[in-house]
Chains A and B, each alone.
Chain A
C-alpha cells in the first residue's frame, strides 16, 4: 500500500470500517511510514477534541414544529393561487432544458409551416385594377371619347 491510498483509508480505519485484509495492509504501512503515522495521530487527537465539545439540545417543541412545516410544504403544490411557484422545484434543470427545447422545435415547425402556407397559398383579387388599366389605355387612343363609364361593382 502506498501513502496516497493509506491516507484515504485512515478515516475508515478509525471508524473500524475496514476489512481484515485492508486493516492488516494499513497497519504494516503505518509501521514503516512515519508520515502516515503522524497524520493518524493528528486525526485521533482531533477526534478526541471533538468528543469533548458539549452538545446543544434543541428546544422541546422544535421537532414538532419542523414536522408540521414539512407536512405543510408537501400539501402546498396542490392548493392555492401560487401553485406554479411551488411547481418550479418539481422540475429539475434537466427537465426544464428538455421543455425549452421542445417548445423551440414546435415554434420552428409551426413558424415554417405558416410561412410555407403563406407563400404557397394563392391570393385572391378582382378584375377592377385590370379594368381601370384597360380603360386608361383606351383613353390614350385619340379618337376615344373623354367621357367614360367608371368601373362599378357590376363590372367586376
Chain B
C-alpha cells in the first residue's frame, strides 16, 4: 500500500491530537460502563442539596413533581415533595437501614428497605453487570447542564421492546444531573433533573428527625425485603407455585417475595433496567376500571396498558395471576401463555 505524503501528514496529526487529548483529559479514556458505575456509587457518597424535578408523560395530562433533596453521606437522604399541591409534604427519608415514605394528609407511613442497605448494595453491583450484558452503554460526548460539564451516557437495549435511558452525569461529582427514560415503545415517559444549591443542611437534618419522631404513631406498613428461593416459597404456600417458562431475552429472577401472610407470591425479574413482576394467589376478583380483553393460548385476560407499564390479569385453575412490566404487549401475552 502506497501512502502519499499528505496522507501521512494527516494520519500523524490525527494520532498526535488523539494522544494529546487522551493525556490532557484523563477522563476521555473512561469506559461509559465505568462512568455509570461511579455515578451509581457517588449518589450515596456525596453531601449535596438541591431541587429534584420530574416530568411524567405517562397520563393524559403531563405531571410535574418537584421535591427538595438533601443527601449527607451514605446514610442520609431526604426528599420532600414541594409540588403539586396534592403531594405537598410527602416525605421520603432513607437513613441507611430503612426507607420511610410518609404521606401526611393520608397519615400513611410505608417502610421500605434502604436503597443503601447491604442487600441493596450487592444488587446494585449485580444490576450493573446485568445492564452491561443486556444494554449497550455508550457515551455521546459531553454537554453542559446548568453550567456544569457532564457526560452523556445512553443505555440502549440490545433487544428491542425494552426501556431505554439517557443520563447526564456531572463530570466532577459523578452525580446524575438529568435522566430521560423511554418506554418499551420508545416514547419518552419521564424526564428528571437535579438543580444543586446549598442551604443549611445540618440544621435541616435536625428538623427532619424531629418530624420523623412525630410520625411514629401513624399507621405503619413495613414491606419486607427478605427474598426467598423458589423452593422455600413452594414449601410456604398452600398451592402449586407456577413460574413462566418464557421470559424476554436477558431477564433473570431477581427476588421471590411473599405477601399477604404467604397468600401471594411475587416474582421479580429484571434485565438491569426493566422490571417484570409476576404475582400469583388464590382466586380473587380484581376490580379494574379500564381494560381490554386479551386472548393468549386458550385463555383470556384483562389488559391494562399504560405508557410506563402494562398489566395483564387472568384466572386459571382457582388461581389469579397478575403480570406487570414495561414490555411490549405481545411479550406480555407470551410470558402469560408460558405459565405452567
Contacts and interface: CB of A to CB of B under 8 A. Distances in A.
Contacts of A137: 255, 266, 268, 275, 277
B54 A147 contact: yes
B40 A143 contact: yes
B284 A145 contact: no
A138 B167 CA distance: 17
Contacts, number: 103
Given A125-B287, A139-B115, A142-B127, A150 B87 contact: yes
Q: Give the interface residue-count category, chain B.
A: 35 or more
Nearest to A145: B192
A142 B128 contact: yes
Interface stretch (A20-28, A91-99, A126-134): A126-134
B128 A130 contact: no
Given A137-B275, A154-B59, A123 B324 contact: no
Contacts of A145: 52, 54, 179, 181, 190, 192
Interface string A134-152: 1011111111011101100
A123 B58 contact: no
Given A124-B284, A127-B322, A147-B67, A141 B270 contact: yes
B287 A134 contact: no
Nearest to A121: B285
A28 to B, nearest CB: 89
Contacts of B58: 149
B91 interface: no
Contacts of B306: 155
A156 B63 contact: no
Contact of B284 (A122, A138, A141, A154): A122
B311 to A, nearest CB: 7
A154 B127 CA distance: 32
Interface in B83-121: 87, 90, 92, 103, 110, 112-113, 115, 120
B165 interface: yes
Contacts of B90: 150
Contacts of A140: 113, 115, 120, 123
B171 interface: no
Given A124-B284, A130-B277, A139-B115, 6 more contacts: A125-B285, A127-B311, A133-B259, A145-B179, A146-B52, A156-B288
16 contacts: A125-B284, A125-B285, A133-B277, A134-B309, A137-B266, A139-B115, A140-B115, A140-B123, A141-B272, A142-B115, A142-B127, A145-B179, A146-B52, A146-B92, A149-B56, A149-B58
